[in-house]
Structure 1
């Protein structure tokens, strides 16, 4: 049975005050002040969690996060050792025991593919992970759009992506989960291209994942600000890439952009820097905690 709008927003606790309707408009947030909750993305520990040769489990990742000043963990789908209901229930119980919410379950998908069979598989993948995300109590599933296939046109790819998102949103609504489309290069390389995919989707289950390190534009900070009003979750990186050239991110500026947009939701550190994440992550988490609380 489909959830009512009221039930849906209640289930999505971190965005319950957002009150957003169709995705064509920026999210109208009823809270007088921004409400940023700090999470850690499992992707930050990817070299340890890689299922080809893991030296850390998601349970151990949760243990690591519990020793930091965090509100939640983001459990990237790539590192789930199993996709069973029992495994999902164990993850949820372990996070609860450690007093951490599960902010989201990022998925890797490509809705631009032209092959019909592959396209349907990509849609089904997202639908399946929406169900798993709901089982662990996550409020968001991060999704990608993808990149153009050879010989394809931007318009055709955009149509396929919007159709796929609409189909997946039906499942997300039923399960009280938000789909969060990320600015992840490909046909989401600019704010305008990202919003070309978001605005036509008239579902209360779609928002944007604001990835602060993925714009390779002249002014990534200005472009982050353009998509922030549509954000339901954010992944904060410690680098930015103006015109493709790496710089240390001004995290204070990033947090200010989110606060200025009256952002309500989880802000997940997604560390991709060159230093040992077991050393760098605690430092950046503490910095973000101070900035968010200030």
Structure 2
């Protein structure tokens, strides 16, 4: 074999590997979003206390809890949950908080009540050892005009500033997920980040929660600026259990190109596969990328 042919062959063999260069070692860790097993929990097959074991069995170190899947967050219940984490060597990351009121409600009394409703989850997150709670910037009616959006941002800025103030004393971050409606508009979320402008306020970019007209790669790029987490939403509903909502390696490169380091949370939400099968495919996708 001549030198030129040998060089050409080695280049061809190296090219695919170069395209799959792994992120810097230790930069990212893997967590599991509890919503990935919400059907099993709601059907009574599993409970929140089983969640650490399920994460451990699927090679996920971190736990992203969902408040609506908990038992009553009493002191004894939290103590049992902490023992389960200690026994499995898993680590709490965040609690996703739903059904606690509208932080963007136009009525001040309603949104301040929502702020207070979140206090118990800030306390629970601190007790368990999480760094954040994920909240929603929901209004009672979706704003559409520039004036309506600006008013809505003012409501949200007031309520989230208040909640961040409470959370600061507990060492907890308040983070916003693109979670449907106006919250899936990255420019609106960024505007809120700038209005509140507090160190314990940030984003949880979800790779899947965007309407079709939005470029999700560009949107996640924007949201990663304030990221304190990253939600790897996956479905695997395509042919041969492929992901057809977006290109997984391309999206992971968006995360890698940001300044973020920390947990990437697998959140399986497919309709074809069993939940545990979907989690395993999600974990494999991250392993294939080097995470």
Same fold per superposition (TM over 0.5) = yes
Among 268, 272, 275, the alignment partner of 2:269 is: 272
- 1:256 & 1:239 partners in 2: Cα distance? 19
Cα gap change, 1:154 to 1:102, in 2 (>3 Å) = same
Among 94, 99, 119, the alignment partner of 2:89 is: 99
- 1:254 & 1:97 partners in 2: Cα distance? 34
What is the CA distance between 1:107 and its match in structure 2? 0.5
TM norm structure 1: 0.80
- 2:26 & 2:88 partners in 1: Cα distance? 26
Q: Deviations over 1:160-206 (max 9, x none)?
A: 11111100111211111111111122222221111111111132111
Q: Which residue of 2 aligns with 1:162?
A: 157
Q: Which residue of 1 aligns with 2:180?
A: 185
- 1:180 & 1:277 partners in 2: Cα distance? 26
What is the CA distance between 1:33 and its match in structure 2? 7.9
1:75 aligns with 2:65: yes
Q: Deviations over 1:108-154 (max 9, x none)?
A: 15212234443222111222211110100011111110135278922
Superposed CA RMSD in Å reads 2.2
Matches within 5 A, 1:53-68: 53-68=43-58
Partner-residue secondary structure (3-state), 1:149: coil
- 2:276 & 2:209 partners in 1: Cα distance? 23
- The range that moved more, 170-179 or 32-41, is 32-41
Q: Which residue of 2 aligns with 1:290?
A: 288
Partner-residue secondary structure (3-state), 1:197: helix
Cα gap change, 1:232 to 1:151, in 2 (>3 Å) = closer
Cα gap change, 1:150 to 1:105, in 2 (>3 Å) = closer
| Structure 1 residue runs without a partner (length 5+) | 1-31, 241-245
- The range that moved more, 175-184 or 280-289, is 280-289
Q: Which residue of 2 aligns with 1:228?
A: 224
TM norm structure 2: 0.81
Partner-residue secondary structure (3-state), 1:180: strand
Work out which structure has the larger RCO, using CA pairs closer than 8 Å and 6 or more positions apart in sequence.
Answer: 1
Is the 8 Å Cα contact of residues 38 and 289 (structure 1) preserved in structure 2? no
- 2:289 & 2:251 partners in 1: Cα distance? 10
| Structure 2 residue runs without a partner (length 5+) | 1-23, 237-242
What is the CA distance between 1:34 and its match in structure 2? 7.6
Is the 8 Å Cα contact of residues 56 and 88 (structure 2) preserved in structure 1? yes
Runs of 4 or more off by more than 4 Å in structure 1? none
1:133 aligns with 2:120: no
Cα gap change, 1:254 to 1:97, in 2 (>3 Å) = same
Aligned positions, number: 255
- 1:54 & 1:121 partners in 2: Cα distance? 31
What is the CA distance between 1:55 and its match in structure 2? 2.2
Pick the structure with more helix per residue. 2
Q: Which residue of 2 aligns with 1:259?
A: 256
Is the 8 Å Cα contact of residues 142 and 182 (structure 2) preserved in structure 1? no
- The range that moved more, 135-144 or 33-42, is 33-42
Is the 8 Å Cα contact of residues 143 and 182 (structure 2) preserved in structure 1? no
